[in-house]
Amino acid sequence: MIGVETRMKHGDASDRSPSSGPLGREIVRADGPSKVQGAATYALEHRLEGLLHCVIIQSTVGAGQIVAIDRSAAEASPGVRLVLDAGNSLTLRSQPDFFGNKPPGDDYTPFATEIRHNGEIVAAVVADTLEQAQAAAQLVRVEVKPQPVIATHDDPRSGYGNPVPLDKDWGNPDDALADAPVVVEATYETPREYNVPIEPHGLIAHWEADDRLTIYEPSQWVDGMAKHYATWFELPFENVRVVSPFVGGGFGSKGQALPHSAAAAIAARMLRRPVKLAVSRPQTFTAYGGRPATRQTLKLGATRDGQLLAIDHDGSNETAANATFIETLGVVTSMMYAVPNFRSRQRIVPVNTVTPGAFRAPGKNPSAFALECAMDELAVELGLDPVELRLRNEPDVDPETGKPWSSRRLREAYAVGGEAFGWARRDPAPRSMREGRQLIGWGMACGTHPVYSSPGEAMVRILADGSVEVLSSAIDMGTGTYTILAQTAADALGVPVEQVTTKLGDSRLPRAPVAGGSQLANLMTAAVHTTALAAREELIALGLTDPNSPLRDRANTLIVAGGRIAPPSGDGISIAELMAATGRDVLEVTRDTLPKKERSNDERLKFFTTMAGMERGTGIPKSRHSFCAHFVEVRVDEDFGTIRVSRVVSALDAGRLYNPKLADSQFKGGIVMGIGMALLEEGITDPRNGRILSSNLADYRIATNADIPHIETISVGIPDYDATPLGGKAVGELAIVGVAPAIANAVFHATGKRIRRLPITLESLI
């Protein structure tokens, strides 16, 4: 990533400190009522005149050459308007994905001629109704000359894999390990995992004119997606509009336009009619890649009293046969504990799979699984309490960069979380705690997530009735963006939060970067804060200088509070009264937090439509991370081997929370997903043809209410203005990190069995 200085200059500290105002309060979700009442319009629910329906046809082999496609029967089928494949598709200009993977050549169609994975799109049918398109799709005959398939990295032919340039080294780990009094070594594995948001992928593509495209598509990044379509169709960026006011979850899967997105847009263009394409649940398992399977071998060397001497880490993840995805496995390993000798290596193993992608806490999550299990194994080996072992290796500075922490409140998390859980009552011996036939296990592990930041842009509009609008192309996928941005504006402006509405998810609005890397809340609250302060200044200027203002010439002493503008003593007037007196319909202010104001349009666009602006710490003097400690109780049935998580207490340091109720919901969501990861989720692949067998919600099991116990979350964060302008740190992905190892460690404590491959099932305990 490009290291650009994007940190905003801090204004007057008093402007940013936690106030008794709306920011930081437990306000209910602004979008809640519209969602529960069915009034929230999701992408595929938009109604358009003359809408056609598109169905994709995916490859049923894992590798091969397409010899022929017979479209004739499908073309003759009732209601069919178009059958598309590589032979008759409009050709687009190719565009690299997030990670720089670019299809070969300058031309691109989403329809394969050479098949690299099972589920790759080979054709599509467009018809008047969905049923007609589905029926006709059955009639398309695809003849393929199959080639050998390497379905997963468990296939010995997949080989050792290819190194990627992420080596990390310090000290001399080989010598340190050779000399270390205690060494533990183990290999940990995680399976393919899928994002499975409640709302599957899909879109409506609508060409208003030959050079104007509107896309209704669930999106974590409408500006990035608009750029994608603009490149594909060689249109000016402004001619593409991506609309995504509501998103039924994404978890990383909705950051960019995907091959099926191109298929729908091509069909709409060729037919000059709006086209809807709904990816079915089974199809989503190959429409987007999900987290790749990982394998990590860790060696930890330590003194007898538990001082880490060395860590040696070798990790690999599956990637596609023709594209690179790196699940960055060394990221937590290298920054969690003070260790003088360190090595981390990473490889990628190409197999016949769809290109894997980002999935909640990419890299961090499997990285912590290996490290935090290995730390538990070391604690057992040393006869030390696992919390005590961690305390003995708590680093004063970031061991990788040597930078001081902006804040790191893990000691507090251990203390507060351990106390709430009752950790002191734990008998360290495995199989020592039971209730009847239930073996009880207590385990713990840590999680962390970096603080990323990008610039953002926002508009604040004060309307004639005194109400306020906040506008941004940022999105809310259930996270709380609508709510916290209203809180931020209300706070900075001095109006009641009920008076503020937020409009999001439209690339025509002021720009925002991706809602990924858990960066959006911090960067957009900063952008809205800046903008709202500017709007307040304009309001005050209007009150002081407008000839018709009842408050004119009051020296510069006006205060805005509670929706009223007033001199320090006296009641003043409402904002609506000021707007009426001065004859204003609207007062509109746009600001951004770009590093320099005089950026050209092209440069601005680059910041908001590529990852170029995503600051990961270069040029920032402090190491910025959120942290958490999870304490978990499991109950394992001695006869049946069934595993239940019966209690979770997590103490989390995510700095200042803009809305503790919503942050709590984020934390709990992450923990729920972590329980699914530990015990349930597994993409099972047919070794013969690379087909994903668990491509539905019956076979790909995610945690349901019945799997979830009482979860207690405790925030131990304090405002961290070295991390972000308003003092918050990363929230959305934090809590999933560390849950799976805490459960694996608890299962060991309950049973004496160390399970190093997820998910932990009753079979694995036999």
The residues that touch ligand MOS, with contacts defined as CB under 6 A, are 220, 251-252, 358-360, 362, 516-517, 733
Query: Under the criterion CB under 6 A, does residue 671 sit at the interface with ligand MCN?
Result: no
Binding partner of 669, given ligand MOS, ligand MCN, none, CB within 5-8 angstroms per partner class: ligand MCN
Minimum Å gap between C-beta 674 and ligand MOS is 14
Strand segments (E) across 334-421: 341-351
Binding partner of 390, given ligand MOS, ligand MCN, none, CB within 5-8 angstroms per partner class: none
Binding partner of 613, given ligand MOS, ligand MCN, none, CB within 5-8 angstroms per partner class: none
Identify whether the C-beta of residue 445 lies closer than 8 Å to the C-beta of residue 337: no
Binding partner of 132, given ligand MOS, ligand MCN, none, CB within 5-8 angstroms per partner class: none
Minimum Å gap between C-beta 481 and ligand MCN is 5
Q: Out of 666, 695, 715, 751, point to the residue binding ligand MCN (CB under 6 A).
A: 666
Q: The tokens of 212 are what?
A: 């104007």
Choose between 110 and 510: whose C-beta lies nearer to ligand MCN: 510
Choose between 136 and 242: whose C-beta lies nearer to ligand MCN: 242
User: CA angle at residue 760 from 757 to 763, to 5 degrees?
Assistant: 105
Residue 443 dihedral angles phi and psi, to the nearest 5° = -135, 160
CA–centroid distance for 659 within its chain = 19
Query: Under the criterion CB under 6 A, does residue 743 sit at the interface with ligand MCN?
Result: no
User: CA angle at residue 725 from 368 to 403, to 5 degrees?
Assistant: 50
Binding partner of 520, given ligand MOS, ligand MCN, none, CB within 5-8 angstroms per partner class: ligand MCN
Binding partner of 510, given ligand MCN, ligand MOS, none, CB within 5-8 angstroms per partner class: none
Minimum Å gap between C-beta 729 and ligand MCN is 6
d(CA 672, CA 655): 22
Contact residues for 151 (Cβ-Cβ < 8 A; gap 6+): 62, 351, 352, 353, 685, 686, 687, 688, 689, 690
Choose between 405 and 423: whose C-beta lies nearer to ligand MCN: 405
Choose between 505 and 728: whose C-beta lies nearer to ligand MCN: 728
Residue 300, classed as helix, strand or coil, is strand
Helices (H), 12-54: 13-16, 32-36
Choose between 212 and 668: whose C-beta lies nearer to ligand MCN: 668
Contact residues for 481 (Cβ-Cβ < 8 A; gap 6+): 474, 475, 502, 504, 515, 520, 521, 524
Residue 173 dihedral angles phi and psi, to the nearest 5° = -65, -35
Residue 688, exposed/middle/buried by CB under 10 A (0-12, 13-18, 19+)?
A: exposed
Annotation marks residue 733 as catalytic: yes
Which of 370, 292, 282 has the alpha carbon at shortest distance from 737? 370
Residue 324 dihedral angles phi and psi, to the nearest 5° = -105, 125
CA atoms within 13 A on the CB side of 45: 12
Binding partner of 362, given ligand MOS, ligand MCN, none, CB within 5-8 angstroms per partner class: ligand MOS
Binding partner of 417, given ligand MCN, ligand MOS, none, CB within 5-8 angstroms per partner class: none
Nearest residue to ligand MOS by CB is 252
d(CA 243, CA 203): 10
Query: Under the criterion CB under 6 A, does residue 255 sit at the interface with ligand MCN?
Result: no
User: CA angle at residue 203 from 201 to 204, to 5 degrees?
Assistant: 165
Cis peptide before 197 (omega within 30 of 0): no
Q: The tokens of 388 are what?
A: 């005590």
d(CA 661, CA 167): 40
Query: Under the criterion CB under 6 A, does residue 292 sit at the interface with ligand MCN?
Result: no
Query: Under the criterion CB under 6 A, does residue 674 sit at the interface with ligand MCN?
Result: no
Minimum Å gap between C-beta 632 and ligand MCN is 21
Query: Under the criterion CB under 6 A, does residue 730 sit at the interface with ligand MCN?
Result: yes
Choose between 254 and 345: whose C-beta lies nearer to ligand MCN: 254
Choose between 255 and 306: whose C-beta lies nearer to ligand MOS: 255
Contact region with ligand MCN (CB under 6 A), list: 105-113, 516-524, 611-619, 629-637: 516-524
Binding partner of 121, given ligand MCN, ligand MOS, none, CB within 5-8 angstroms per partner class: none
Helices (H), 393-432: 410-421
C-alpha distance across the termini of the chain, in Å: 45
Minimum Å gap between C-beta 5 and ligand MCN is 21
Choose between 98 and 721: whose C-beta lies nearer to ligand MOS: 98
Minimum Å gap between C-beta 376 and ligand MOS is 26
Residue 446 dihedral angles phi and psi, to the nearest 5° = -110, 160
Choose between 526 and 657: whose C-beta lies nearer to ligand MCN: 657
Q: Out of 658, 685, 720, 746, point to the residue binding ligand MCN (CB under 6 A).
A: 658
Residues of span 350-379 touching ligand MCN by CB under 6 A: 360
Residue 57, classed as helix, strand or coil, is strand
- Determine how many CB atoms are found less than 10 A away from the CB of residue 146: 12
Helix (H) / strand (E) element for 313: namely: strand 308-320
Choose between 206 and 449: whose C-beta lies nearer to ligand MCN: 449
Which of 332, 275, 233 has the alpha carbon at shortest distance from 741? 332
d(CA 746, CA 376): 10
Query: Under the criterion CB under 6 A, does residue 736 sit at the interface with ligand MCN?
Result: no
Query: Under the criterion CB under 6 A, does residue 445 sit at the interface with ligand MCN?
Result: no
Q: Please state at what angle helix 259-271 crosses helix 222-232, rounded to 10 degrees.
A: 60
Residue 458, exposed/middle/buried by CB under 10 A (0-12, 13-18, 19+)?
A: buried
Contact region with ligand MCN (CB under 6 A), list: 475-483, 504-512, 571-579, 642-650: 475-483
Residues of span 223-252 touching ligand MCN by CB under 6 A: 249-252
Contact region with ligand MCN (CB under 6 A), list: 33-41, 109-117, 185-193, 510-518: 510-518
Helix (H) / strand (E) element for 8: namely: none
Minimum Å gap between C-beta 582 and ligand MCN is 35
Minimum Å gap between C-beta 237 and ligand MOS is 22
Query: Under the criterion CB under 6 A, does residue 716 sit at the interface with ligand MCN?
Result: no
Choose between 386 and 513: whose C-beta lies nearer to ligand MOS: 513
Binding mask 152-191 for ligand MCN (x = CB under 6 A): ----------------------------------------
Q: Which of 193, 400, 681, 733 is catalytic?
A: 733
d(CA 720, CA 653): 10
Choose between 377 and 733: whose C-beta lies nearer to ligand MOS: 733
Minimum Å gap between C-beta 474 and ligand MOS is 13
Pairing of β 240-243 and β 212-216: parallel
Residue 237, classed as helix, strand or coil, is helix
Residue type at 617? G
Choose between 252 and 399: whose C-beta lies nearer to ligand MOS: 252
Strand segments (E) across 71-173: 80-85, 92-93, 107-108, 114-115, 121-127, 141-146, 162-163, 168-170
d(CA 586, CA 195): 42
Binding partner of 368, given ligand MOS, ligand MCN, none, CB within 5-8 angstroms per partner class: none
Contact residues for 664 (Cβ-Cβ < 8 A; gap 6+): 713, 715
Minimum Å gap between C-beta 358 and ligand MCN is 7
Minimum Å gap between C-beta 607 and ligand MCN is 16
CA quadruple 735, 739, 741, 746: dihedral sign: positive
Query: Under the criterion CB under 6 A, does residue 540 sit at the interface with ligand MCN?
Result: no
Minimum Å gap between C-beta 254 and ligand MOS is 8
Query: Under the criterion CB under 6 A, does residue 499 sit at the interface with ligand MCN?
Result: no
Query: Under the criterion CB under 6 A, does residue 650 sit at the interface with ligand MCN?
Result: no
Active site residues: 733
Residues lying near ligand MCN in the complex (CB under 6 A): 197, 249-252, 360, 477-481, 484, 515-522, 654-659, 662-663, 666, 669, 728-733
